[in-house]
Amino acid sequence: MNALVILPTYNEKATIKQVLEGILRHKNVSVLVVDDNSPDKTAGVVKKHKEFGKRVHLLSGEKQGLGEAYKRGFVWAVNESTADAFLEMDADLSHNPEDIPRLLDALKSADVAIGSRYVKGGKVIGWGMHRKILSFGGNLVARMIAGLWSVRDCTAGFRAFRRKTVQGVDFSELPGKGYSFQIALLNTVKRQERTIVEVPVTFTDREKGTSKLGVSDILEFGVVAVRLGFQTYARLIKFLLVGASGLIVNWGVFALLWLYTGVPAWLSIAVATEASILSNFFLNNAWTFKDRRTTHIIGRLTRYHYTALGGLLITYLAYFSLENAMHALVAYPVAIMAATAWNFALSYFWAWKKK
- Which residues here bind ligand GDP, judged by CB under 6 A? 8-10, 12, 34-36, 63, 65-66, 69, 90-92, 94, 157, 206, 211-213
Compare residues 38 and 280 and give the one whose CB is closer to ligand GDP: 38
Determine, following the binding rule CB under 5 A, whether residue 92 of this chain makes contact with Mg ion.
yes
Centroid of chain to Cα 301 = 32
Compare residues 92 and 198 and give the one whose CB is closer to ligand GDP: 92
CB 85 within 8 A of CB 104: yes
Q: How far apart are the first and last CA of the chain?
A: 35
* Residue 34 beta carbon to Mg ion: minimum distance, rounded to whole angstroms: 15
Centroid of chain to Cα 55 = 32
Longest dimension (CA), the chain: 91
Compare residues 22 and 243 and give the one whose CB is closer to ligand GDP: 22
Using alpha carbons, select from 183, 42, 40, 118 the residue that is nearest to residue 31.
42
* Residue 190 beta carbon to Mg ion: minimum distance, rounded to whole angstroms: 25
Residue 69 binds what, of ligand GDP, Mg ion, none (CB under 5 to 8 Å, by partner type)? ligand GDP
HSE (side-chain half, CA atoms, 13 Å) at 181: 24
The dihedrals phi and psi of 60, each to the nearest 5 degrees, come to -105, 145
* Residue 122 beta carbon to ligand GDP: minimum distance, rounded to whole angstroms: 15
Of the ranges 20-28, 204-212, 278-286, 315-323, which one interacts with Mg ion (CB under 5 A)?
204-212
Positive or negative, the CA dihedral 112, 355, 310, 245 is: positive
* Residue 173 beta carbon to ligand GDP: minimum distance, rounded to whole angstroms: 20
* Residue 139 beta carbon to Mg ion: minimum distance, rounded to whole angstroms: 16
Question: How far apart are the C-alpha atoms of 216 and 155, rounded to whole Å?
Answer: 16
Compare residues 203 and 239 and give the one whose CB is closer to Mg ion: 203
* Residue 35 beta carbon to ligand GDP: minimum distance, rounded to whole angstroms: 6
Distances (CA, A) of 284 to 244, 276, 326, 343: 12, 12, 33, 12
CB 37 within 8 A of CB 60: yes
* Residue 70 beta carbon to ligand GDP: minimum distance, rounded to whole angstroms: 8
Of the ranges 58-66, 82-90, 271-279, 294-302, which one interacts with Mg ion (CB under 5 A)?
82-90
Residue 88 binds what, of ligand GDP, Mg ion, none (CB under 5 to 8 Å, by partner type)? none
Strand partners, 202: 123
Comparing every residue's Cβ against ligand GDP, the nearest one is 211
Of 94, 187, 280, 343, which lies in the binding site for Mg ion, with binding defined by CB under 5 A?
A: 94
Write out the residues near Mg ion by the rule CB under 5 A: 90, 92, 94, 206
